[in-house]
Structure 1
Amino acid sequence: MSSMATEILAFILSVSGWVLISSTLPTDYWKVSSIDGTVITTATFWSNLWKTCVTDSTGISNCKDFPSMLALEGYIQVCRGLMISSVSLGFFGSTFALVGMKCTKIGGSDKTKSKIAFFAGFNFILTGLCSLTACSLYAHRITTEFFDPMFIAQKFELGAALFIGWAGSVLSILGGVVLCFSLAEGISTSQQGYPYSGATSLGASHIKANYKHNHPHKTSLDYNTPSMQFGKNAYV
């Protein structure tokens, strides 16, 4: 019962992390910057993996999609690939986890379900690692430009999407690790051998049957009687 509860907790953590990671892809504010006037903010610049936009004080946004993928900067292409891979791995991990968990009725035998769920946990770990790498790479580029005194273009700060991605990555990795360890413990427990109680030999079974036939009023063998004492070469 405790193993099943651990699996459910790990599944909830992993899926929650995957949902947060998936929500970062369409989120606008991966990096943000603003131009302040004397009284109010006159314009807010923000970008994500797909476009760059500016929002004025009236709330009107003007956006421009990034050009051809071949013309993009390398770090944006890497972040796109890692985030898409993370979402895809999380989808397959969720599917495998539903099939492999003990509380579901599909997936075959317990041994097969354990292998499937272990693979799902490994997928969730990869999901978190891909997203963590993408968000960290993007944040590193922002901080490098911000603290570079020779960088004269507009400087940006970390957006909300990065923090959401980091949180989702941690949840996904944590859930995947818990799922893998709980299943590994369950497999090792199920493979432990039972104590061997010994098997009755054919000759001993035959002797016991003959003794019961000749002594119907006795319930057990009495090896102290002369008839039950055998010499060294009794079976030769």
Structure 2
Amino acid sequence: MGKRLIQVLGFLISSLGWVFVLCTMAMDFWRTSQLGGQGGSFIIKVAWYWSNLWKDCYTDSTAVTNCRDFPVLWSVKPFVQAVRGLLMCGLTLGFVAVILCFVGMECTYIGGAQKIKDKLLLAGALFHIAGCVSDVSAYCLYINRVARTAFAGRVGPGVLRYDLGPPIFLGLVGCFLILLGGIFYAVTVYRVIFPKSKVVYAYGGGTYMAPRSRGRTMYSGYYRASRQNGPYRGSQLSKSSRISGLSQTTRTHISERDAFV
């Protein structure tokens, strides 16, 4: 029951994080810049400049917005193109992961035997983690380009200092949720796919460790006899040597008696 609850919780968390990342691609205000003057004791906003992955916009004090769409695919700024590609790659991996995890969950009755379902769930968790890494790389690249201008000591004429917008923070929260969901998945099936070696006590205190791989034989492992009973092979050899000594002595006595007669 606990395993199913953890898997359902991981599915909800990772799916919500994937939706957060998907929404950020269509949101505005990835970066914002404000220009204005001071009048009296209040700050009067004159203009706002903001951008997303698809356009640059300008909003004046009368709430009129003018936008310029980015040109065709091969003439976009390189870092914007890289952010787009990384996000699309991460979303694709996340979509495949959602399908694999849905099929591999214990509470669903599709996907085959339970061993196969566990492997599908582990594969889905790895896809989630890979997609999360791709998404985080995209956001970090965009943050780096904004921070380089914002914290620069001197900028050229006409260059604006931008601040980070809400989509960046929403995307980072989504990445955290995706990673957390993938960890939940992996925890529920890791011990099933990679079990620990079991120790079985036998032969009066000796230990036998079960093999972890299929290629080893059933009797492979480590065996150590008990010290209380003495070495096993030594006791067998001592008994056989004593029996052979008795037989030799008996034969000697019989042969001497026959010779005397």
Query: What TM-score, normalized by structure 1, do the two folds share?
Result: 0.77
Report if aligned partners of 1:18, 1:172 keep a CA contact under 8 Å in 2: yes
Q: Sequence identity of aligned pairs in percent?
A: 33
Partner of 2:103: 99
Partner of 1:209: none
Report if aligned partners of 1:126, 1:173 keep a CA contact under 8 Å in 2: no
Structure 1: where are the runs of 5+ without partners?
A: 196-236
1:73 to 74, 77, 98: 77
Partner of 1:144: 148
Paired residue type of 2:139: C
Partner of 1:233: none
User: Which 4+ runs in 1 deviate beyond 6 A?
Assistant: none
Partner of 2:31: 31
Q: Does 1:82 align with 2:89?
A: no
Give how far 1:35 is off: 1.1
Structure 2: where are the runs of 5+ without partners?
A: 201-261
For CA contacts below 8 A with separation 6 or more, give which structure has more relative contact order: 1
Report if aligned partners of 1:18, 1:127 keep a CA contact under 8 Å in 2: no
1:57 to 61, 76, 80: 61
Distance in 1, matches of 2:186 and 2:17, equals: 16
Report if aligned partners of 2:119, 2:193 keep a CA contact under 8 Å in 1: no
Q: C-alpha offsets along residues 110-139 of structure 1, whole Å, 9 cap, x if unaligned? A: 011111111111111112111111011100
Q: Does 1:131 align with 2:132?
A: no
Q: 1 or 2, which has the higher strand percentage?
A: 2
Report if aligned partners of 1:124, 1:176 keep a CA contact under 8 Å in 2: yes
Q: Bigger radius of gyration, 1 or 2? A: 2
Paired residue type of 2:171: G
Q: Does 1:155 align with 2:166?
A: no
Distance in 2, matches of 1:140 and 1:147, equals: 10
SS of residue in 2 equivalent to 1:150:
coil
Paired residue type of 2:123: F
Q: Does 1:11 align with 2:11?
A: yes
Q: Mean Cα displacement is larger for which, 178-187 or 112-121?
A: 178-187
Q: C-alpha offsets along residues 120-176 of structure 1, whole Å, 9 cap, x if unaligned? A: 111111121111110111001101111112322111011111101111111111211
Distance in 1, matches of 2:57 and 2:146, equals: 17
Alignment of 1:171-190 (within 5 A): 171-188=177-194
Report if aligned partners of 2:118, 2:193 keep a CA contact under 8 Å in 1: yes
Partner of 1:205: none
Paired residue type of 1:119: A
Distance in 2, matches of 1:174 and 1:185, equals: 18
Q: Mean Cα displacement is larger for which, 101-110 or 170-179?
A: 170-179
Partner of 2:242: none
Report the RMSD for the aligned CA atoms in angstroms.
Answer: 2.1
Q: C-alpha offsets along residues 79-109 of structure 1, whole Å, 9 cap, x if unaligned? A: 0000111111111111111111000011111
Query: What TM-score, normalized by structure 2, do the two folds share?
Result: 0.70
Partner of 2:222: none
Q: C-alpha offsets along residues 173-230 of structure 1, whole Å, 9 cap, x if unaligned? A: 12112211221123345x978x8xxxxxxxxxxxxxxxxxxxxxxxxxxxxxxxxxxx
Q: C-alpha offsets along residues 50-107 of structure 1, whole Å, 9 cap, x if unaligned? A: 1111112222211111112222221111100001111111111111111110000111
Partner of 1:202: none
Distance 1:75 1:59, change over 3 A: same
Report if aligned partners of 2:17, 2:173 keep a CA contact under 8 Å in 1: yes
SS of residue in 2 equivalent to 1:173:
helix
